[in-house]
A = this chain, B = another copy of it.
Amino acid sequence: MREQSTAFQDCYPDDYAHCYGCGHLNEQGLRIKSYWDGEESICQYDPPKKYTGGFPDYLYGGLIASLIDCHSAATASAARCRAAGIDLEAQALPRHVTAALKIDYLKPTPVETVTLKSRVLEITGKKVVVETTLSAGGMVRAKGEAVMVLIERNG
């Protein structure tokens, strides 16, 4: 069940909305959308057929890493707001960049709608650690752990 209608990524300020994976201003990008679902965040994505791995019936591992990265970054920002009691839509989302990303590819992933679910393991100072599963056909296909770092940038 989704708790709000505005995606995390739509709350990024415009100067941070150019990401190929999740920026609403990148017209050629993936434009993934993430939401709260209780304590977890969720993102569903239906990949274009061009994103195949070596075999044409498997999803590209680089896309799996990209989806986990972008969903984790948005989750980190939303979690920082939630921890501070700030409404997501009340102000621009704080910005995080990826310091480290670890993906375990557990099973081949078909080229069909995938579901990402993340939970926050830790928020400490500028750091947020996010754990993610990527599922398709009701099975977890990959797991990720991302270390996200809050950034300030003017201009």
Interface of A with B (CB < 8 Å)?
12, 15-21, 23, 26, 28-29, 50-56, 60-63, 65-67, 69-70, 73, 95, 97-105, 108, 153
Contacts and interface: CB of A to CB of B under 8 A. Distances in A.
B102 A100 contact: yes
Contacts of A18: 52-56
6 contacts: A16-B54, A20-B51, A20-B60, A62-B67, A101-B102, A101-B103
A23 B63 CA distance: 14
A51 B99 CA distance: 18
Contacts of A56: 18
Contacts of A15: 55
Nearest to A66: B62
Contacts of A66: 60-63, 65-66
B12 A97 contact: no
A114 to B, nearest CB: 14
A68 to B, nearest CB: 9
A63 B16 contact: no
B20 A50 contact: yes
Given A26-B52, A62-B62, A100-B102, 17 more contacts: A16-B54, A18-B53, A19-B53, A19-B60, A20-B53, A20-B63, A23-B54, A53-B97, A65-B69, A65-B101, A65-B103, A66-B66, A97-B108, A98-B103, A99-B104, A99-B105, A100-B103
